Amino acid sequence: MPECSCSLSKIKDFRSAVLVSERLSERIVWLTLKCPELAEEVCPGQCVMLFPAEGMDPLLGRPFAVAYTDAEKGEISICYMLLGRGTEMLSTLSAGREVRVRGPFGVPLKSISDKVYIAAGGVGIATFISFIRSNPEKIADVFLGIPGKGYEKYAAAISELVPDVRIFTDDGSFGEGDSMFKTLPEKIDENAEIWSCGPPGFLKAMEDHFAEQKEKLYFSLDNRMACGYGGCMGCVVETTNGLKRICVDQSIFRADEVISHEN
């Protein structure tokens, strides 16, 4: 594991070859790039920015959490959802093509002294995969909620990286049931925490489920990051401690500190 810190001086541009670009469902893509420098530098919870094309169209890169790194092979992987023109352009990249990558951005996930539960919806688990693999002794349980039919390939890919993941599908077509909220613990142990990432509706459901223990529930928020340097204020989270920028101030937020996670 690299020594994790957040430093603007480490943010650089790289030309990276596409090794794998594979659709894991109609809307989810797994992308693996050859980039030894970033594979050595990126820490769990950090992200990179990909530029879909040369030139100024689109002008801004697209930020993604780094799901997995293999320092020995010099590879980094991201898992993203198709949400607009930029991600559609990225999805057309084939093996052998080059893409511009900028990073690493963001604050690494915090260290913990005891146990942590992970609960994610959709591609929200991507931000936690490296942490789970690097700290298996600290993981109490991992829950993933996905739509169901058509997501079998995605579920298999996540299960390969996180063998103990417990998968729940909205339609109940596979996995352990139709809702993780029937299986999540009712109460988190005194020295444990639960980290969550996913769509706003999912985070609201997590907040409701742990309404009496919000101080133990933490959110990794997917606010849009435009610059990555802290200048544009695009990824700001409104908290009880003031405005916090995901790219340079904080990576994970206690649920009772977040005023709104609807961004």
Q: What is the pLDDT of residue 196?
A: 98
Domain map (residue ranges) of the chain: 8-105, 116-220, 222-263
Non-local CB neighbours of 55 within 8 Å, separated by 6+ positions:
none
Identify the band that residue 61 occupies on the pLDDT scale cut at 50, 70 and 90: confident
Per-residue pLDDT tens over the stretch 74-94: 999 999 999 988 899 999 999
Arithmetic mean of pLDDT over the chain: 92
Q: What is the pLDDT of residue 262?
A: 60
Domain 8-105 in CATH 3.30.420.40? The answer is no
Q: What is the pLDDT of residue 203?
A: 96
The CA distance from 144 to 211, in Å, is: 20
Collapsing DSSP states into helix, strand and coil, what is residue 193? strand
Architecture of the domain made up of 116-220: 3-Layer(aba) Sandwich (3.40)
- The CATH homologous superfamily to which domain 222-263 belongs is Dihydroorotate dehydrogenase, electron transfer subunit (2.10.240.10)
Q: What is the pLDDT of residue 261?
A: 63
Q: Answer yes or no: is pLDDT of 134 > 70.
A: yes
Nearest CA to 227 out of 89, 63, 43 is that of 63
Omega within 30 of 0 (cis) for the link into 136: no
The CA distance from 51 to 53, in Å, is: 6
Q: Is residue 110 within 8 Å of residue 253, measured between CB atoms?
A: no
Q: Answer yes or no: is pLDDT of 26 > 90.
A: yes
Region 219-234: mean pLDDT is: 84
Question: Looking at residue 65, what DSSP letter applies?
Answer: E
DSSP symbols for 118-185: EEEEGGGGGGGHHHHHH-GGGEEEEEEEE--TT-HHHHHHHHHHSTT-EEEETT-SSSS-S-GGGTS-
> How big is the chain, counted in residues?
263
Q: Answer yes or no: is pLDDT of 225 > 70.
A: yes
Say what the pTM is: 0.92
Non-local CB neighbours of 239 within 8 Å, separated by 6+ positions:
253, 257, 258, 259
